Chains A and B, each alone.
Chain A
């Protein structure tokens, strides 16, 4: 009896998990399938599976726009913003985890609260700043915005990881004569590698997929893959297959990265949750 009940329970849970997984995965699946259809099939909801598969949409996208340049920008923006964010976030998180002041908790909350504001609220001032300083459509400008955008999350994540590291080890390095910089570089960072790695991965994914600011502040020179996708959306004509092909090409690299980094990400995100 008991065994039957537990098997049934497992079946229900498994079925539920698969359902949730498929619902989450469905848009991606649909996009990929649509990208291999003809434009005619693409707008016909009834033909979930195409009548004739074709790579026509991909060749059109290839010939019309320079994928490599967009992808290059995406890579530079994602890696650049992540790198600079870590350079700022590691010392900040160190200070908050190992030398907390009276208002450290408030500071952390305040940083998080900036993520609660809808970004569109800051669009006009930031757009004006970018215009006046000549930062529109420059990689440096977008890297700065993406870095600032994700900094609160990075500092929070690193803070959580650093809290798990015993302070005595850092004190030992101070007794051993390590300066603050060397303490961070030779002792803290190597010990926090798993946490830093998952923070890095998550931030690359967030920066890669960020669309609001990249669409608003770039046109051509600094335009990443989000612009590449958006350029196939048009008010008229048939474009679903081409749009899907562009989307598939845009998400493919990050999907592969995510796949390889899965284990690291899961470990990082549940770090400290289970002792």
Chain B
């Protein structure tokens, strides 16, 4: 079945090291999201799994078999590209069936498979159109259709939603998750959007400068970040990171506290702060405050918080929600 393992997979162009050495085991049927800032090597890692980039050293095992040197098409994986990468000169039907034709499948069987994929993706009436006559969302569906029709062991998604507008993105996100549930295939999904990562993943792999920083379920990463980098990357709005004197009181070089884990009081509290800006989202209010020695902080207040800029408030962190980090940025566990 569709297990994928990286054994110390390394990628370097001459002296420039992109991936110093990544090891990871992906279980069959798992939805894994690679997330990280741009340039962190997440797309390179995906392309290495796909076989579009060679490994400098290390190995890739798919389904227990060594596929390090195998051609992309022999790995039993399908890929959905960021730009969709549809064949512009072929109709939707041609695009979806191309892989099956290359595999030498009989015509009747191809017809049936294309029809089924098109029906699942609501593309039946567009089968004879060219990609340029389709909307962005429809092109995305064709790209997905091209991937599912080959019935692969695993799917690779390279930022597939970043070219869509916000509303469509949420819809497609749900559709991809539904597809994962229906097909039960292994999926690896690359994104720089941590909201996508949090909502879709069984497990998230956080990458930073080519290194795997932490692997875990969304809530594990949220509740127990291993490093300052993960703490700052996962969660929206970002975790407040405080160093210096206020952190020393907690026996740490840096402490982190999420905006939603700060209690607000007008009378007393651990830190005093002055409101400089309030963002009203309806369900929540985000207060940007100047907390003196702690620096600028973000605080989440539930509901409509009546806040006047310049007003003084007190903040108290929930004690068991404080994250402590040493001077190398690693988490200090009790």
Tell me the bound Cα distance from A182 to B73 in angstroms.
13
A171 touches B103 (CB 8 A): no
Bound state CA distance, A115 and B205, in angstroms? 54
Q: What chain B residues lie within 8 Å of A132 (beta carbons)? A: none
Which residue on B lies nearest to A165, using beta carbons?
A: B88
State which of B79, B89, B103 has its C-beta within 8 Å of the C-beta of A172: B79
The answer on a CB contact under 8 Å between A166 and B85 is: yes
Of A173, A177, A178, A191, the most chain B CB neighbours within 10 A belong to: A177
B102 touches A182 (CB 8 A): yes
From the candidates A169, A175, A186, A190, name the one contacting B73 in the complex (CB within 8 A): A175
Kindly state whether residue B10 has any CB partner on chain A within 8 Å: no
Contact of A177 among B52, B73, B81, B87 (CB under 8 A): B73
Residue of B with least CB distance to A191: B89
- Chain A residues within an 8 Å CB radius of B146: 172, 176
Which of A174, A191, A193 contacts B72, CB < 8 Å?
A174
Shortest B177–chain A CB gap in Å is 22
Give the residues from 133 to 184 in chain B that come closer than 8 angstroms, CB to CB, to chain A.
146, 150
Q: Please report the C-alpha to C-alpha distance between residue A174 and residue B98 in the assembled complex, in whole angstroms.
A: 11
Report chain B residues within 8 Å CB of A178.
73, 98, 102
Query: Which A177-199 residues have a C-beta within 8 angstroms of B?
Result: 177-179, 182, 186-187, 190-191, 193
**B:65-81 near A, CB below 8 Å:** 71-73, 77-79, 81
Q: Point out the residues of chain B lying under 8 angstroms from A182, CB to CB.
A: 102
Q: Is the CB of B73 within 8 A of A174?
A: yes
- A176 B99 Cβ-Cβ under 8 A: yes
Is B83 interfacial (CB 8 A cutoff)?
A: yes
Closest to B99 in A: A176
> 1/0 contact trace for A235-251 toward B, CB 8 Å?
00000000000000000
Contact at B102–A177, with CB atoms within 8 Å?
Answer: yes
Q: If A176-B73, A176-B146 touch, does A171 touch B81 (CB 8 Å cutoff)? A: yes
The one of B77, B87, B103 that contacts A175, using a Cβ cutoff of 8 Å = B77
Residue B19 is within 8 A (CB to CB) of chain A in the complex = no
Contact A172 B73 (CB under 8 A): no
Q: Is B73 within 8 A of A168, CB to CB?
A: no
- Binary interface profile of A, 28-52, with partner B (CB < 8 Å = 1, else 0)? 0000000000000000000000000
Contacting residue for B87 out of A169, A174, A179, CB 8 A:
A169
Contacts of B71 in A (CB 8 A): 174
Measured between C-beta atoms, what is the minimum distance from A64 to chain B in Å?
50
Q: Cβ of B52 and Cβ of A191 under 8 Å apart?
A: no
Tell me the smallest distance from the CB of B1 to a CB of chain A, in Å.
20
Is B78 in contact with A175, judged by CB distance below 8 angstroms? yes
Bound together, the chains give a CA A187 to CA B79 distance in angstroms of: 17
The answer to whether A168 and B83 touch (CB under 8 A), given A175-B50, A175-B77, is yes
Chain B interface: which size bin? 20 to 34
Residue B273 interfacial (CB < 8 Å)? no
* Interface residues on chain A, number (Cβ under 8 Å): 18
CB <8 Å contact, B81 and A168: yes
Interface pair B86/A169, CB less than 8 Å apart? yes
Which residues on the A side are within 8 Å of B88 (C-beta)? 169, 191
Selected contact of B85 from candidates A171, A186, A193, CB within 8 Å: A171
Interface string of B286-313 (1 = CB under 8 A from A): 0000000000000000000000000000
Please determine whether B102 and A168 come into contact, CB atoms closer than 8 angstroms. no
| B52 and A173 form a contact (CB under 8 A) | no
Instruction: Give the complex CA separation of A179 and B89 in angstroms.
Output: 19
Report A137-174 residues with CB < 8 Å from chain B CB. 166, 168-169, 171-174
Please tell me if the beta carbons of A187 and B77 are within 8 angstroms of each other in the complex. no
Instruction: Check A177 against B83 for contact (C-beta < 8 Å).
Output: no
Closest chain A CB from B53 CB (angstroms): 10
- On whether the beta carbons of B85 and A168 are closer than 8 Å, the reply is yes
Are B81 and A173 interface neighbours, CB within 8 A?
no
Pairwise interchain contact A175-B89, C-beta atoms closer than 8 A: no
- The residue on A at minimum CB distance from B82 is A168
Residues in B whose Cβ lies below 8 Å from that of A175: 50, 52, 72-73, 77-79, 99
A-chain residues with CB within 8 Å of residue B103 when the two chains form the complex: 177
Kindly report which residue of chain A lies nearest to residue B152, judged by CB atoms: A175
Contact: A176 with B83, CB < 8 Å? Answer: no
- Complex: how many Å from CA A252 to CA B309? 84
CA distance A251 to B82 in the complex (A): 50
Residues of A within 8 A of B83 (CB): 166, 168
* Assembly CA distance A201 to B192 (angstroms): 46
Find the A residue at minimum CB distance from B102.
A177
16 other contacts beyond A169-B85, A172-B79, A177-B102, with CB at 8 A cut-off?
A166-B83, A168-B83, A169-B87, A171-B81, A172-B146, A174-B52, A174-B72, A175-B50, A175-B72, A175-B73, A175-B79, A176-B99, A176-B146, A177-B99, A178-B98, A187-B87
Q: Would you give 11 A-B contacts (Cβ < 8 Å), ordered by A?
A: A166-B85, A168-B85, A171-B72, A173-B87, A174-B71, A175-B50, A175-B72, A176-B99, A176-B146, A178-B73, A179-B102
